[in-house]
Structure 1
Amino acid sequence: MNNATWLYKVGLALLLGMTLGLGGCASGVDRDPRDPLESYNRAMYSFNESVDNAVLKPLARGYNYITPAPVNKGVTNFFNNLADVRSAINNLLQFKIGRAFSDVGRVAVNSTIGILGLIDVASNMDLPRYNEDFGQTLGVWGLDSGPYVVLPFFGPSSARDGVGVVVDWFTDPVTYVEDDAVRWSLRGLNVVDKRADLLNASRVLDEAALDPYAFVRDAYLQRRQDQVYDGNPPPEVYE
């Protein structure tokens, strides 16, 4: 087991321990019942922001500066194509057979005609992206999201979606690249590419939100409920 994998598993174990053991620690200051770990979450949010400002934002800006727009789009398409594999598995687990076949069709078309996914041919063939993950699958199976939790480096999540992150790790084709250098280079490129795509959104958040932490939390939880119910959640979900 290499060091990076070991650290990842240790981090997840610590997260689960904090989620199970610190539920009552912030009871004196918490106001949102969905966020019983608010004190811990705010501290982790600040930590992630510090890492983002010191490392990820500069890398993302440099990446945008040196990468031509068509290449940038191709990289995004490539990783979206890999994510469609995960989506197909989760649509199948949710018994959404038509969507699962659509995801498989996207992977087949984009991996061949689209040159390993660099070109998104499937979207022009009316094969939409569904982007399903295991956290959504657990929600479809009826598992409540549980408490909101901010994961180190990963960001906004919940107890349910934290479990989903672990399963999604093993349904990501990059996990099975045998060469360590190639595998971690791909993961690093994926992170930087995603962060570069979100530069404008983070700028709007910094300028518009009085409490960025609460804004991100509320937006995340609402979006996840919307995804679980395929865009049509019952009104009581938001209560």
Structure 2
Amino acid sequence: MTKLHRRLRQGLALTVPALALATALSGCATAPPKSDTADYQAYQQLNDPLEPTNRVFYNVNDKLDTYFMKPVAEGYVHITTQGIRNHVGDFASNIGEPARMLNFMAEGHSKDAGTSMVRFLVNSTVGIGGIFDPASAIGYPETDTDFGLTLATWGVPAGPYLYLPLFGPSGVRDAANYPVEWFATPMEAAPASAALSDFGYSETGLHLVNTRAELIQPIDQIKATALDPYATFRSLYRQSRASQLQQIEQRDNRTWPDWYRQPAQ
């Protein structure tokens, strides 16, 4: 079994059980009777048929965040500066450029794919491994996409909302992004070694803590003011994904034929 296959299986192992468990527990999500027209239509519009199960996962994640992730993130903020955290974010973003390049190619956005390639080459060398972002300064700003958005441009529907254990807000379509991101990294092209494996895990952990640190205030504000934080996070996630997809759809830089592309619902 190749290293790529092992990584792919490991990545799938993170998401497939969660999806299977959500499907198996779907019987717990009971829709209002169709005779209750208003309630039934509202339930359908939410596209959250697994809401009872999703809320269980949300509550578990919330406890893990309250007693572990948030304290770690607060300690991290205490011992670092905003500048350091920005560089950590740039480094993590640079590691994701090859995956973005592949997704842009699959979407038919070859110019964006070229931008991602240039960004990776420039920032990995002149930017010292991506710690700095000189590519933006010379006219190659970061553009974002992922495999979930790529599937959307192919016409794959979003599917029901999911709140995945450990990962948080997602959907059936977007959950496919996790294994793709896992193995579409520069580390996969390097020879396997214990040191490289340790580096990968360390980078992932640092990225998670750094991201959580940047979200301390927004998350605290939502929890303090929202009547239903679960519903608020669900709404914000959907708005964010819809905005990202709209930006991709509106880009006027497609240079490849539209063989398969259909707007997703």
Which band: TM-score by shorter chain?
0.7 to 0.9
Partner residue, 2:110: 97
Query: Partner residue of 2:224?
Result: 207
> Which SS does the other structure have where 2:30 is aligned?
coil
Paired with 2:169 and 2:204, the residues of 1 have a C-alpha distance of: 19
Aligned equivalents of 2:93, 2:13: Cα separation in 1: 28
- Sequence identity percentage: 34
* Aligned-partner SS, 1:156: strand
Aligned position for 1:135: 148
Change (3 A) 1:205 1:231: farther
Equivalent in 157, 180, 183 of residue 170 of structure 1: 183
**Residue in 1 aligned with 2:43?**
32
Q: CA RMSD in A?
A: 2.6
Distance 2:186 2:218 in 1: 28
SS in 1 for 2:26: coil
Instruction: Give the TM-score of the pair, scaled to structure 2.
Output: 0.80
Amino acid at match of 2:21: M
Query: Alignment partner of 1:32: what SS?
Result: helix
Distance 1:97 1:231, change over 3 A: closer
**How far has the Cα of 1:231 moved from its partner?**
6.3
Matches within 5 A, 1:59-70: 59-70=72-83
Maintained 8 Å contact 1:110/1:116: yes
Displacement of 1:71:
2.0
Task: Answer whether contact 1:26 1:36 (CA < 8 A) is retained.
Answer: yes
Q: Give the Cα–Cα distance (whole angstroms) in 2 for the partners of residues 174 and 129 of structure 1.
A: 21
**Hey, what's the Cα distance between the residues in 1 that align with 2:247 and 2:225?**
28
1:156 and 2:159 are equivalent in the alignment:
no
1:22 aligns with 2:37: no
Cα distance in 2, alignment partners of residues 57 and 16 from structure 1: 26
Q: Which amino acid aligns with 1:138?
A: L
**Which structure 2 segments of 5+ residues have no match?**
2-6, 33-39, 251-263
Deviation, 1:74, is 1.3
* Bigger Rg, which one: 2
8 Å Cα contact 1:174-1:186 kept in structure 2: no
Q: Quick one: structure 1 residues 6 and 84, their matched pair in 2 at CA, closer, same or farther if it must change by over 3 Å?
A: closer
Give the Å deviation of 1:70: 2.5
Where in structure 1 are there 5+ consecutive unaligned residues?
none
Relative to the length of structure 1, the TM-score reads: 0.88
